[in-house]
Amino acid sequence: MHTYMCALFYSLEITILFNKKRTSGAVDALNTIGFLTE
């Protein structure tokens, strides 16, 4: 359950960053995705 909540939190955070459509937000989201998929 804890892992599910963490995954949900990251998904929401990434979605919010992309929805802002700001360069800094997009970079942070891409860095987060890159970090999670390494």
Q: Any idea which residue has 């890159």 for tokens?
A: 34
Q: Where exactly are the structural domains of the chain?
A: 2-37
pLDDT for the residue 7: 85
pLDDT for the residue 17: 74
pLDDT for the residue 16: 80
Radius of gyration in angstroms for the set of CA atoms belonging to the chain, rounded to a whole number: 11
* Higher-scoring residue by pLDDT: 24, 5: 5
Predicted TM-score (pTM) of the model is 0.39
Residue 1 in this model has a pLDDT that exceeds 70: no
Categorize the per-residue pLDDT at 9 as very low, low, confident or very high, splitting at 50, 70 and 90.
confident
- CA atoms of 20 and 5, how far apart (whole Å): 23
Q: If you write DSSP's letter for every residue of 1-38 in order, what string do you get?
A: -HHHHHHHHHHHHHHHHHHHT-HHHHHHHHHHHHHHH-
